[in-house]
Amino acid sequence: MIALALFVLLTMAAFTLFGTALSQDALSRQRQAAQNLAQEGQEAARQIRNTDWDALAVGTHGLVLNGNVWSFSGSEDVQDGIYHRSVVVIAVGDDAREVVVTVQWTSAGGGNAVASATSRLTHWQGLPLPLASNCRSTFSATGDWSNPVVLGSADIGSGNQGTDIAVKLPYAFVSGVAASASKPDLFVFDVSNPAAPTLVTSVDIGSGGINSLSLSGNTLYAASPNDGKELIVFDVTTPTSTASIGSVNMSGSANALSVLASDGWVAVGRAEGSSSEIVIYSVSNPASPVVEASYGISGDINDFAVSATNLYAVSESASQDITTIDMTDPANPSLVGSFDLHDGLADISIAFQDPNTIFTGNVDGKIIVLDSTNPTDMTIVDEYNTQGNVNDILCVVNNLIFAGTTNSNKEFQILNISDLLNITEYASLNFPQMATGVDFADNNIYVSVRSNDALRILTSTP
């Protein structure tokens, strides 16, 4: 009898656990379905906005799909018999609407459940910028980039991971980080034959490695986690003899995450926790940088972009996503102000497009397009989802963006931005690890990859 009782108890416990597992799986599948419906609602609202701004009426709506065309109908729509979806459109000024898509259902466990998605859409047709992209750059892409091909790759050694890349033909500079402080951190490749890059020298900076690179003339600047030299300066006049000619021990212990060098100045971005997350140096003498200005942002500064007059920085700050600094007089930088994207997401990459368009990439996989005519009150134009963290963005002529992402199937993506209201994927490639940095020269794309096989060289088909 005792044995029988134990058997019954064990059997009941097993069935209970099995039932719980099934219930949890059902809950998970329901939540994913609801989140997909919320995201679909956002895409539908965007399509409605693109077709007719006036149709994006303030109020609470349901959705109906006729063929491939979405429209509002009623106050909610019901999907799969259980998901009640509503789209709430809220006026935010004359030319902007906040769109909140809410999906409610009775979960497999019997309780009420909710999933939602929020975005801000603008009346792009009413803005002063043209609809078509007009990317102007010193880079000119030719050939068929809808069918990119890999020309060659190179290894930086076991235990090393590529973090960024800068190109000065016929050489490419790849930075890296490694678990061991004794491993090199900067790798110089001869890429005169892109099909067979050759390592010509490497440099060990000590502990920490290098997070980011920026070239200006014959000087290469590196941002490092090394607590004794967060900014490192290399002379690359003769790339095969690349050597450090100076460094800066910045105050505090916050890592240097990003760097951008221009004519006579360099900006360094640091992790949150330093007294100043952005520091601008005069480098009239590259071996001895001199501080010109510094700014506290309260968030990691992950990337920079520059226009003819302004320096733009993106951060993980909850309220200062994009910071603009006037660099008209590099000896007297002037803080213009900051802009909040109101999405609460960390921004990790940025690119500028003449005359006043900015592309930012975030940890939610989105590339967000902004009109920066007013740097302190930018307008969100549209967004594109790469389905992976956007680690780097490069804009070139011929209306293309090259993006390095963490998408496990599309680490490298090429986007068509000829219509900023309808950004589309042009092509993509699958790498063994995430793409961390992108550079362009002589119609070739150079990509750093977070693996020991860290250099990839790509080009278009004829």
Q: Do 315 and 374 sit in the same domain of this protein?
A: yes
117 and 153 assigned to the same domain: no
pLDDT, residue 109, reads 72
- The burial of 373, by beta-carbon neighbours within 10 Å (0-12 exposed, 13-18 middle, 19 or more buried), is given as middle
- CA distances in angstroms from 294 to 208, 255, 277, 282, listed in the order given: 23, 16, 8, 12
Q: Looking at the domain assignment, is residue 443 inside a domain?
A: yes
Residue 10 forms part of a structural domain: no
pLDDT digits (tens, 9 = 90+) for 363-413: 999 999 999 999 989 999 999 999 999 999 998 766 889 999 999 999 999
Q: Are residues 204 and 110 in the same domain?
A: no
Q: Do 107 and 248 lie in a common domain?
A: no
Residues 103 and 204 in one domain: no
pLDDT for residue 453:
86
Q: For the full predicted model, state whether its pTM sits above 0.85.
A: no
Condensed to tens digits (0 to 9), the pLDDT of residues 386-398 reads 999 999 999 876 6
What's the pLDDT tens digit per position in 346-360? 999 999 988 889 999
Range of the domain at 384: 144-461
Can you give the pLDDT at residue 62?
A: 96
Question: Which of 90, 122, 154 lies at the terminal end of a domain, its last residue?
Answer: 122
Q: How confident is the model at residue 3 (pLDDT cuts 50, 70, 90)?
A: low
Domain-embedded: residue 13: no
**Taking residues 183-206, what's their average pLDDT?**
96
Amino acid at 158: S
The reply to whether 18 falls in a domain is no
Domain membership flag for residue 44: no
| Residue 147 pLDDT > 60 | yes
DSSP string, 204-262: ---TT---EEEEETTEEEEE---TT-SEEEEE-SSGGG-EEEEEE--SSSPPEEEEEEE
Could you tell me if 375 and 381 are in contact, meaning their C-beta atoms sit under 8 angstroms apart?
no
Q: Residues with Cβ < 8 Å from 380, sequence gap 6 or more?
A: 96, 120, 121, 122, 341, 368, 369, 370
Q: What percent of the chain has pLDDT over 90?
A: 66
Q: Are 340 and 442 in a shared domain? A: yes
Examine the fold and report which residue of 91, 122, 153 is the final residue of a domain before the chain moves on. 122
- Work out the number of other CB atoms within 10 angstroms of the CB of residue 279: 25
**194 and 66 belong to one structural domain:** no
Same domain, 77 and 176: no
**Structural domain includes residue 215:** yes
CA dihedral (371, 266, 217, 186) in degrees, to 10, reads -110
Closest CA to 454 of 245, 197, 183: 197
156 shares a domain with 73: no
- The number of domains in the chain is 2
The first and second tokens of residue 364, run together, are 């939610």
| Cα→Cα distances 357→135, 360, 378, Å | 9, 10, 10
Which pLDDT tens digit goes with each residue over 259-298?
999 989 999 999 998 889 999 999 999 999 999 999 999 8
The reply to whether 133 falls in a domain is no
Residues 337 and 436 in one domain: yes
Q: Which one has a higher pLDDT value, 93 or 370? A: 370
The string of DSSP letters for 156-196 reads --TTEEEEEEEEETTEEEEEEEESSTTS--EEEEE-SSTTS
Token couple for 329: 């007089």
Catalogue the E-assigned strands of 263-299: 265-270, 278-282, 290-295
Please report, for the domain that includes residue 340, its CATH number. 2.130.10.10
Q: What is the pLDDT of residue 398?
A: 64
* pLDDT for position 304: 95
102 with 186, same domain: the answer is: no
**One domain for residues 433 and 316:** yes
Query: What is the mean pLDDT of the segment spanning 180-201?
Result: 95
With respect to residue 456, please indicate whether it lies within any of the assigned structural domains: yes
